[in-house]
Amino acid sequence: MASAAKLTFYCSAQEDWCQLMANKFQDATGIKVNMTRKSSGETFAQVKAESANPKGDVWWGGTGDPHLQAAEEDLTEPYVSPMRSELNDWAISQATSAGDKTIGIYSGALGYGYNEDLLKANNLPAPSCWKDLTKPEYKGFVQMANPNSSGTAYTTLATMVQLFGEDEGFQFMKDLHKNINQYTKSGSAPIKAAGRGENTVGIVFMHDAVKQAVSGFPIKVVAPCEGTGYEIGSMSIIKGARNMDEAKKFYDWALSADAQTLALDVKAYQVPSNKGAKTSPSAPDLSSIKLIDYDFKKYGSSAERKRLLKKWDDEVSTLPQ
């Protein structure tokens, strides 16, 4: 008897969303799903480490930069889904820039959120710009993830370089470093901590801050005054996948309007790539946010990503706090 169809699914979105995608795909197809959740930087490292003997089949979610780097390093497989005609242009352009080795599944703008109660309790002014977070009064009150493990934090680093220029962008990261109480592993952890009252300001994708606010926590979401970067969350099939047919089935299913609308069940407020998927009125309206012209090709490239991370390690993370 042939063994039952299965899929090894690497997921870099929020845990509950990963679980829901795995369960719903399993229900829809009968394919048994084995899911692992890690942030996008960590998943990229795992896919690279396993490349001689791939264990994963499909990698879904997380910021696009590591997906683009994986494509460039030939760790992922080109695939043109029949679902493409249903997608927004930005999702297709992500695929085109990577020779069809990845595709956009959602997008979200970078920003931050703060706990209004803690802000008041500490007599802090309400921040509205990136530069506000470098003021001395915020010392010990700001949290972000480590850009080596987190796609969110790498997007932050690449955004500052594009927004302010490299010298001033790194100066911003150094000034911010003085105020950071902890660099977390996961991109959404800083705002979850703020929701729980363990941290005041969290630099995250705005949809992660919206999730906390909608869940009833005293979180105020900020689109920074200077402008901001954004992500195109992506999906890729791992090169040499053992379950290639199942990986393609998942890929097509994950691009469908129904699969993308599942995001609302777990209060994930990203903008979906399928034009027919439902979005929440609570989701950040990207058209009302001052977005930079984020250069995904450049900042998702292997050389630039390595260079910026090394520079951050050498010049920022080593500074006293």
Residue 87 in contact with residue 257, Cβ under 8 Å?
Answer: no
Q: Which pLDDT value is given to residue 3?
A: 64
Residue type at 278 in one-letter notation: K
Residue identified by tokens 């979401």 is 221
CA-closest candidate to residue 155, choices 222, 98, 233, 231: 231
DSSP codes joined into one string, 181-231:
EEEESSTTHHHHHHHTTS-SEEEEEHHHHHHHHHTT--EEEE--TT-B-EE
**Domains of the chain and any CATH numbers:** 6-107+232-284 (3.40.190.10), 109-229+304-315 (3.40.190.10)
Question: What's the pLDDT score for residue 1?
Answer: 44
From the number of C-beta atoms within 10 Å of its C-beta (0-12, 13-18, 19+), residue 318 rates as: exposed
d(CA 280, CA 172): 33
Q: How is 114-168 classified by DSSP, letter by letter?
A: EEHHHHHHTTPPPP-STGGGGSGGGTT-EEEE-TTT-HHHHHHHHHHHHHH-HHH
Per-residue pLDDT of the chain (321 residues; tens, 9 = 90+): 456 899 999 999 999 999 999 999 999 999 999 999 999 999 999 999 999 999 999 999 999 999 999 999 999 999 999 999 999 999 999 999 999 999 999 999 999 999 999 999 999 999 999 999 999 999 999 999 999 999 999 999 999 999 999 999 999 999 999 999 999 999 999 999 999 999 999 999 999 999 999 999 999 999 999 999 999 999 999 999 999 999 999 999 999 999 999 999 999 999 999 999 999 999 999 889 999 999 999 999 999 999 999 999 999 999 998
CA dist 262 and 267 (Å) reads 9
Spatial separation of the C-alpha atoms in residues 58 and 31, rounded to whole Å: 13
Non-local (6+) Cβ contacts of 130 within 8 A are 160, 163, 172, 224, 225, 226, 228
